Amino acid sequence: MPERSPSRWSFVRHAGGGWLWQRFGPDGRLEITSQTHSAYGKVLTDALQHGFRPKEDDYSVDLPHGRLHYPPGRDPEFTTGLPRRKQRLRDVWRELEHADSRARED
């Protein structure tokens, strides 16, 4: 069997609920994004079915207020906040959700 190239995975929890996974190739490019799942266990099961190997792959769990990074063979790392670009995207998403909820009230 050919050697598999290392992947980086990201498990993302949206502030409004729901989870998805993303797989990035060795060059850092996004290869695939899952559909949204209702729970972390469901998104993890789906990722495992798509080739995720937690003991070998580099992965992170992105939460609304921080990130858990699991480098292979090392202890997990926690960082608070999001990188500036993701923070801006999250703020825009919140504004859109807020505008959408106001529109439904009208």
Instruction: Give pLDDT tens digits for 68-80.
Output: 999 988 888 888 7
Q: Which residue in 14, 4, 15, 54 sits closest to 34, CA to CA?
A: 14
Helix (H, G, I), strand (E, B) or coil at 99: helix
- Asked if residue 9 lies in contact with residue 47, where contact means CB atoms within 8 angstroms, the answer is yes
- Give the mean pLDDT of 39-51: 95
Report the predicted TM-score, pTM, of the whole model to 2 decimal places. 0.68
CB within 8 Å of 90: residues ≥ 6 apart = 15, 64, 82
Give the residue extent of every domain in the chain: 8-105
